[in-house]
Amino acid sequence: MRRQLAAFAAKRDWEQFHNPKNLVMALVAEAGELTEHFQWLDFAASEQLPPAVREEVALEIADVLLFLVRLADRLGIDPVRAAERKLALNAAKYPVDKARGKATKYDKL
């Protein structure tokens, strides 16, 4: 995916626009568009989206993922390794015996 995105941008001469600042701003904008689909829904409705809305949400998720992958590439960060490292850090912060069934921040457990 990283290579596909880099090639896609190169063919369109978009590298000039794909600096980390711009990519983060685009990522946040797309995350906002994703959020709009869930704003004002109750929990049940947010889990049972109509098919048309679900498809729109899928495309917004794709936009978020694509900008995130492009940002990681431009910064030389492997997002999968970063996520694995973060998961390990979170496992230490939120031990099962203290965090199970709680939404409490780690420093308040």
Q: What is the pLDDT of residues 36-90, one digit of tens each?
A: 999 999 999 999 999 999 999 999 999 999 999 999 999 999 999 999 999 999 9
42 part of a folded domain = yes
Return the closest-CA partner of residue 23 out of 66, 56, 52, 77.
Answer: 66
DSSP string, 22-38: HHHHHHHHHHHHHHHTT
**Model's pTM, two decimal places?**
0.89
Task: Note whether 51 and 39 are within 8 A (CB).
Answer: no
Domain count, the chain: 1
Query: H or E element: which one contains 80?
Result: helix 79-93
pLDDT the model gives residue 36: 97
Q: 12 is in which domain, residue-wise? A: 2-100
41 vs 85: CA distance, rounded Å: 33
Q: Which pair of tokens denotes residue 85?
A: 């490292």
CATH value at residue 56: 1.10.287.1080
105 part of a folded domain = no
pLDDT the model gives residue 74: 97
**What DSSP character marks residue 106?**
G
